Amino acid sequence: MFSERQQQIVEIAIKLIADKGIQNLTTKNIAFKIGISEPALYRHFSSKLEILKAVIAYFQIKMQPALEKLKESLISLNKIESFMLEHLKIINLNPDFAKVIFSEANFQNEENLILKMNNMMNQSHKILETIVHSGQKKDEIRTDINSLSIVRMIIGSMRLLVTQWSMSGMIFNLETEGRQLSDDIKKLIVAK
């Protein structure tokens, strides 16, 4: 789908955004970091907007494995644990993602982009919602708590954890803290 040069452009675009925000993402900066001229960029992407679309597609591809792993487990609580830890593992391996992925507001100027980003997020949310729901039906998860609240707590705390990790300069171990959080959530929502 993406040529080597296109991948390189996307990766550098992510790095530039992660480094100094979306305002740092200029065609000039991308070209300079690669070591080619600005017009050469336009041999690989027809516009800057296309580069941003590719950034989002790149996230989607990289995050996919986290959703695949869930299928291996049958118990709801294990699926939830897997959901959290697999996502965090990928983000840990691609620290630049953290700075970009949860700042949807950055793309606010372009209707198309924010829609694509939302779709990507909603996909994850829907999957987690299904897991929680069936966990309650199978009496593995407390039924006296609104399932939407549980989903919001899981996703919300995960996102906050990633944001804090990213803001702190990655000062703590994301996967260790993620496991602590996941263990605590499991303890809270398990059916008694």
Partner DNA sequence: ATTATCTTTGTTAGTGTTCACTAACGTGGT
Partner DNA sequence: ACCACGTTAGTGAACACTAACAAAGATAAT
Q: Please select the residue that binds DNA; options are 43, 71, 187, 192, rule is CB under 7 A.
A: 43
Residue 190 forms beta bridges with which residues?
A: 141
Q: Is 49 in the site for DNA (CB under 7 A)?
A: yes
Q: Please select the residue that binds DNA; options are 40, 105, 148, 167, rule is CB under 7 A.
A: 40
What lies within 8 Å, CB to CB, of 100 at 6+ separation is 14, 17, 18, 55, 59, 106
Residue 161 touches which of a second copy, DNA, none (Cβ within 5-8 Å per kind): a second copy
Burial letters for 153-169: b for 16+ Cβ neighbours within 10 Å, e otherwise?
Answer: ebbebbeebbeebbeee
Q: Is 71 in the site for DNA (CB under 7 A)?
A: no
Q: Is 53 in the site for DNA (CB under 7 A)?
A: no
Q: Please select the residue that binds a second copy; options are 21, 61, 75, 126, rule is CB under 8 A.
A: 21
Which range binds DNA by CB under 7 A, 30-38, 56-64, 116-124, 179-187? 30-38
Residue 12 touches which of DNA, a second copy, none (Cβ within 5-8 Å per kind): none
Residue 2 touches which of DNA, a second copy, none (Cβ within 5-8 Å per kind): none
Q: Is 169 in the site for DNA (CB under 7 A)?
A: no
Site for DNA, rule CB under 7 A: 3, 5, 25-29, 35-40, 42-44, 46-49
Site for a second copy, rule CB under 8 A: 20-24, 99-100, 102-109, 118, 142, 144-146, 148-150, 152-153, 155-161, 163-164, 167, 180-181, 184-185, 187-189
